[in-house]
Amino acid sequence: MEKLGGLDAAFLSCETPGMHMHVCGMLVLDPSTMVGEPYDHIRTMLLGATTTAPLMRKRLIGVPFGIGRPYWVDDAEFDLDRHLHRIHLGHGRDDRSLAGVLGDVASRPLRRDRPMWEIWVVEGLAQGHVALIAKMHHSTIDGIEGVSMMGRLFGVAGPEATPAPDGGPRRAPGKRPTEPEAGDQVVPEAEWQPERPPGSLGMLRRALAGRLADPVEVARLLPVTATRLGSTLWQVATRRRGEPGTVRPFTAPRTSFSATLTPNRSVAFTDVSLTDVMAVKEAYEVKVNDVVTAIVGGALRRYLEQRGELPSRPLVAAAPVSVHGRTGSVKGVTKLSLLFSSLATDVEAPVERLRVVAAANARAKEVSGAMGADTITRWAGQVWPTALSLAARLYSSLHLAEHHPVAYNVLLSNVAGPPFELSLAGARVVGTYAFGPITDGAGLNVTVISVGDRIGVGIVACPDFVAEVWDLADAVADSLDELTAAARRMRAGTSRRARRPQPA
- Nearest Cα to 443, choosing from 492, 474, 479, 399? 399
Residue 200's contacts (CB-CB under 8 Å, 6 or more residues apart) are 64
To the query of whether residue 138 is one of the catalytic residues in this protein, the response is yes
Residue 438 to residue 8: CA distance in whole angstroms: 16
Are 436 and 136 in contact, with CB atoms under 8 Å apart?
A: no
The one catalytic residue in 20, 41, 83, 138 is 138
Q: Where are the alpha helices (DSSP H) in 372-420?
A: 375-380, 385-397
**Phi, psi angles (nearest 5°) of residue 450:** -100, 135
Three-class SS of residue 114?
coil
The Cα–Cα gap between 410 and 255 comes to 10
> What's the CA gap between 477 and 296, in Å, rounded?
10
Under DSSP, the state recorded for 37 is -
Amino acid symbol at 310: L
User: What are the residues whose beta carbons fall under 8 Å from the beta carbon of 94, sequence distance 6 or more?
Assistant: 125, 126
Return d(Cα 109, Cα 12) in angstroms, integer.
11
Strands 444-451 and 454-461: antiparallel
- CA separation for the pair 304, 98 (Å, rounded): 25
What are the residue numbers of the active site? Answer: 138
